[in-house]
Structure 1
Amino acid sequence: MNFSIKTTSPSQAQVDLLILYSWRGEKAETLVPNNLKLQSSIKEAMTREQFRGDEGEYVDIYTKGEIEAYKILVVGLGKEEDFDLYKLRKSIAAATKKAKQFKVKKLAFVPHNSWYKKFEPELVGQSMVEGVVLGGYKFLKYKGKEEKEKNIELEDIMFLVTPNKVAGMEKGLGIGKIFSAATIFARDLINEPAAVTTPTYLAKIALDLGKKAAGQIKVKILEKEEVAKMGMGAFLGVAQGSEEPPKFIVLHTKPAGAREKVVVVGKGITFDTGGLSLKPAEHMMTMKMDMSGAATVLALFAGLTHLKPKVEVVGVIAACENMPSGKAVKPGDILTAMNGKTIEVLNTDAEGRLTLADGLSYAVGQKPQAIIDLATLTGACMVALGQEIAGMWGNDEKLNDKVKKASEVVGEKLWHMPLEKEYKPLIKSDIADIKNIQTGKYGGAITAALFLEEFVDKIPWVHLDIAGPAYEESETTLVPKGGAGYGVRTILQYLLDLGK
């Protein structure tokens, strides 16, 4: 897929499909000024199809040789006042899907002039590339030849702009390509079967990243024996039920001029049965995705090798399976985390927070200025926020604001949730320091965040519960059914902003 920024007039673009955008109620005359014939054709098509310019509406027109493009697609944007960068990406992704349905190979997008009143050209360019790549993604590795041949690969994508927008658009295009490639790296990992994506496989991916980065990334894989010596009893407690050996994966990059250090911790449960607190069969079907946080960390480093922000970054993944067996941790067992805290395990299906306890304790030992963790942690967060929005908890308002701002730039939705101290007694254990589930059935996402806070000391920390948006159970405009790669672009944007 080749992207380019051109100053060619839309009427002169030699493409199969020219894509224009319309606000609700916008007239055809403003879409193609200086071409009365084409204005008439578009107006006629809009009337015939009752096109009003609402979000998600389309109308396509054969140009009959009136311009160089073979066909025009007009995409509705809805109300201008409701438009944001998320909707910009959606509108590009939706048009990309239509282009694939039309079986075209060469297309040109014409950004709406008013987009530049809302956003800098750099952000427009970045968002447009991400919309094309992420909206056009399909995981076809295990499909047959016939299915693969049906998938139309776009070859040439042009963004047609005025000369004064070229520099900004080109910069955004470069960033968007890196962000998109990193997100797809994560999606591919999440979509692999759990029989492939074992802890050992994740360790191999990390080592491969280190080799390809030619010294930019240092990778360390801690085996079970070394992890035990370090006192990571919570992580090993989860891992002990599986035949697959656990791997504690650490990635590290320190570019020249780095001023701050950030540790990113990703939950790495490569398959989650619930352990002895066994999940129902229907809840287990998608549990290969319980390593989505780990996939985000690995994808983050794939992107950092190209972006090189002036930030020292450490990635931490405690990778294991959560399986039932005669060796598995039992409800009522006591585990001791790396920081010395004892944990009463009352439900073995609340295992992610146990592995994160040791991951976060290790992160504290790196003495960073900030810690961010990403985890498919609680169903309670999905009940509260649905499948499209991640929950964000944190102990430092400045860090919270920076992560929230980054999420808004890249169009990954998250909501700032309360780290309610009054709920802390709900995770107090009668026989250990804390327990891994709360008393009662309410506020589970909050008490999970409070549990994690026990392991971050006083370091500024953000917890992202990505249980909802990490994996789509039905296709959306930007994400097909399966792994979303949620959080990759938010954390990359945060690090890019931090390194400026």
Structure 2
Amino acid sequence: MNAMPIFKLGQGGAGRVIIFPVFKDSFEQAHSGGLLASFLEKHEPRKRMGERGEVTWFYGHGEQPHYLFVGVGERSQNAAFRITEAAGTAGRAAEQEGLQSAVISFEALGKRKDEEEESFVAAWVEGWLLGTYAFDRYRSKKTHRSVTAILIEAERKESLAEAVRLGEIRAQGTMLARDLTNEPSNALTPLKFAERVREHFEGVEVSVDIKTGEELEHLGMAGLPAVGRGSINPPVFMDLRYCSDPAKPLTVLVGKGITFDTGGISLKRDNDISDMRMDMAGAAGVIGALSIIAARGIPANIAVLVAAAENVPDANALLPGEVLRYANGTTVQVGNTDSEGRLVLADALVYAGQIGAQRVVDMATLTYSCVGAIGSKLAGIWGDDRLVQAIRTAGEGVGEKLWQLPLVDEYEDYLKSDYADICNISRVGEAGAITAALFLRKFTSPSYKWAHIDMNGLKEASGCSGHLVIGATGYGARLLAEWVASDV
């Protein structure tokens, strides 16, 4: 992928295309002499120009500029995210025309307060970068990014420079998560995954501790070594720390890092399971979040824990019926080796309590049941009500929605085992996502508040829409970073 375009702030710049995001419910006249006023002297606005995702071109002749209007939709409290979507759509439209420069004007959005202007600028930069993202590392013909210079029309250049930087940081953290999730399994084994993470955080105030082999057993881990036992690529546990404010409570973000999931001995029966390389999207999301947090210098005390393994069948692989004993004393009967994510997350949740966590959020591509329950536009979230609400509020702001599902105590009976404390699968064919959350709750500590996010339906996009492109979405990176930032 080409280097990122250069974003500048100013007025009166020349660009081959002038882009106006526009709301559905208003089309404000610009002040005298503005770019929009110049357009309106020669053209009439068209219907539907403000519809969400609508792209309307007015092509110029000769040296005259083209005009591109991109619909933002109705005015709402979530206008900044709608700008993010519009920017992604506009970015792809400009690239498809092979244009080299662009001028962005917010004149058609009407009058804005300073803080709203800042949020729009950050959202536009973020959305443009995410919407023109391409994972082309393995293509012989690389994606050509034609738009190299983007001028954002603004009078307050100095005060808005930080907004540009914020948009770039958010996009970079999300693109890191996308890059990791898109990688094929032969390029991202657990150890290679850990090394990529270590390289990314070199020179950053983030310490990276990689544990493998006998170290896992010394820590009392049970699920991670067992799940990774069948692979020639050993499992890895990553402990990443960022502490810019030791007075802050220790917040732990946990990610499921299954770099490929065949189902193990309980082999998957789907025709094409190549997307199982994305079973580490939860881990990629928490790593992307940490990258954003560190780059912004947010005052925080954060640990990111990633349990990474390959789940493959082999003569040494974990067998159904085995019993695992965890560091908190809980024993688990393995009913199905394709329910491996909860086995590795359990180790990390116990470890979080051991290191003094006060708040823990785990994120995983855990169940298809969650997709069946609430679809692919929402992630499921369980746990402490106040913590869940704070995370949901942060998600609304960045367009990463969550829906709270209940922890139904009566369903714990579904996880009963004949000869261990608990089984890793339900014996009843219902409430699969809830029983998975109930399983994880067995390994949390009373010393911390806990929330669990099942984002299986949001790990990838099948088409381009707004800031999303085909492939990994990087879900959770902006969501968790925003939640941590809002707690400052």
TM bucket, shorter chain: over 0.9
Conserved 8 A contact 1:390-1:468: yes
1:265-324 per-position Cα deviation (integer Å, ceiling 9, x unaligned): 110101000011111243522000001122123323333332222211111111110001
- Please say if 1:85 is aligned against 2:80: yes
1:236-256 per-position Cα deviation (integer Å, ceiling 9, x unaligned): 111111111111111112114
Conserved 8 A contact 1:209-1:217: no
Supply the distance in 1 between the matched residues of 2:38 and 2:148 (Cα, whole angstroms): 30
Residue number in structure 2 paired with 1:212: 203
**Matching residue within 385, 401, 404 for 2:374:** 385
**How far does residue 183 in structure 1 lie from its aligned partner after superposition?**
0.8
Residue number in structure 1 paired with 2:14: 14
Conserved 8 A contact 2:87-2:467: no
Supply the distance in 1 between the matched residues of 2:54 and 2:196 (Cα, whole angstroms): 42
Distance 1:363 1:210, change over 3 A: same
Residue number in structure 1 paired with 2:426: 438
Supply the distance in 2 between the matched residues of 1:59 and 1:438 (Cα, whole angstroms): 52
Residue number in structure 2 paired with 1:60: 57
- Please say if 1:223 is aligned against 2:212: yes
- Please say if 1:184 is aligned against 2:184: no
Conserved 8 A contact 2:259-2:279: yes
Distance 1:274 1:21, change over 3 A: same
Which residue identity lines up with residue 187 of structure 2 in the other structure? V
Report matched runs for 1:186-265 at 5 Å.
Answer: 186-213=177-204, 216-256=205-245, 258-265=247-254
Distance 1:33 1:276, change over 3 A: farther
**How far does residue 21 in structure 1 lie from its aligned partner after superposition?**
2.7
User: Which stretch shows the higher mean deviation, 466-475 or 300-309?
Assistant: 300-309
Supply the distance in 1 between the matched residues of 2:372 and 2:416 (Cα, whole angstroms): 24
Distance 1:372 1:441, change over 3 A: same
- Please say if 1:136 is aligned against 2:125: no
Conserved 8 A contact 2:21-2:109: no
Which residue identity lines up with residue 41 of structure 1 in the other structure? K
Supply the distance in 1 between the matched residues of 2:144 and 2:272 (Cα, whole angstroms): 30
**How far does residue 144 in structure 1 lie from its aligned partner after superposition?**
1.5
Residue number in structure 2 paired with 1:23: 23
Residue number in structure 1 paired with 2:337: 348
Report matched runs for 1:413-492 at 5 Å.
Answer: 413-458=401-446, 459-492=448-481
Supply the distance in 1 between the matched residues of 2:466 and 2:167 (Cα, whole angstroms): 18
Distance 1:343 1:116, change over 3 A: farther
Residue number in structure 2 paired with 1:159: 152
User: Which stretch shows the higher mean deviation, 417-426 or 186-195?
Assistant: 417-426
Supply the distance in 2 between the matched residues of 1:467 and 1:70 (Cα, whole angstroms): 44
Conserved 8 A contact 2:392-2:402: yes
**How far does residue 338 in structure 1 lie from its aligned partner after superposition?**
2.2
Supply the distance in 1 between the matched residues of 2:246 and 2:268 (Cα, whole angstroms): 48
**How far does residue 494 in structure 1 lie from its aligned partner after superposition?**
1.4
Supply the distance in 1 between the matched residues of 2:218 and 2:38 (Cα, whole angstroms): 77
**How far does residue 388 in structure 1 lie from its aligned partner after superposition?**
2.6
**How far does residue 211 in structure 1 lie from its aligned partner after superposition?**
3.0
Which residue identity lines up with residue 3 of structure 1 in the other structure? F
Conserved 8 A contact 2:398-2:479: yes
Supply the distance in 1 between the matched residues of 2:264 and 2:393 (Cα, whole angstroms): 37
Distance 1:117 1:210, change over 3 A: closer
Supply the distance in 2 between the matched residues of 1:110 and 1:131 (Cα, whole angstroms): 15
Residue number in structure 1 paired with 2:99: 104
Distance 1:339 1:160, change over 3 A: same
* Consecutive unaligned residues in structure 2, runs of 5 or more: none
Conserved 8 A contact 1:20-1:109: yes
Aligned to 2:345, the other structure's residue is in SS state helix
Supply the distance in 2 between the matched residues of 1:299 and 1:402 (Cα, whole angstroms): 19
Residue number in structure 2 paired with 1:324: 313
Which residue identity lines up with residue 2 of structure 1 in the other structure? I
Supply the distance in 1 between the matched residues of 2:485 and 2:159 (Cα, whole angstroms): 16
Which residue identity lines up with residue 14 of structure 2 in the other structure? Q
Aligned to 2:267, the other structure's residue is in SS state coil
**Matching residue within 410, 417, 435 for 2:398:** 410
Conserved 8 A contact 2:286-2:480: no
Name the one with the larger helix percent: 1
Conserved 8 A contact 2:89-2:465: no
Distance 1:365 1:122, change over 3 A: farther
- Give the superposed CA RMSD: 2.3
Aligned to 2:403, the other structure's residue is in SS state strand
**How far does residue 471 in structure 1 lie from its aligned partner after superposition?**
1.6
Which residue identity lines up with residue 178 of structure 1 in the other structure? I
**How far does residue 42 in structure 1 lie from its aligned partner after superposition?**
2.5
Conserved 8 A contact 1:293-1:374: yes
Report matched runs for 1:300-315 at 5 Å.
Answer: 300-315=289-304
**How far does residue 123 in structure 1 lie from its aligned partner after superposition?**
2.1
* Consecutive unaligned residues in structure 1, runs of 5 or more: none
Distance 1:73 1:327, change over 3 A: same
TM-score (norm 2): 0.92
**How far does residue 5 in structure 1 lie from its aligned partner after superposition?**
2.2
Distance 1:99 1:432, change over 3 A: same
Conserved 8 A contact 1:260-1:369: yes
- Please say if 1:266 is aligned against 2:255: yes
Supply the distance in 2 between the matched residues of 1:267 and 1:413 (Cα, whole angstroms): 20
TM-score (norm 1): 0.90
Conserved 8 A contact 1:32-1:39: no
Distance 1:26 1:207, change over 3 A: closer
Supply the distance in 2 between the matched residues of 1:283 and 1:118 (Cα, whole angstroms): 50
Aligned to 1:317, the other structure's residue is in SS state strand
Supply the distance in 2 between the matched residues of 1:384 and 1:176 (Cα, whole angstroms): 33
Supply the distance in 2 between the matched residues of 1:331 and 1:340 (Cα, whole angstroms): 20
- Please say if 1:3 is aligned against 2:7: yes
**How far does residue 202 in structure 1 lie from its aligned partner after superposition?**
1.4
Identity %: 33
Supply the distance in 2 between the matched residues of 1:280 and 1:91 (Cα, whole angstroms): 39
Supply the distance in 1 between the matched residues of 2:118 and 2:208 (Cα, whole angstroms): 33
Distance 1:258 1:153, change over 3 A: farther
Residue number in structure 1 paired with 2:483: 494
Which residue identity lines up with residue 116 of structure 1 in the other structure? R
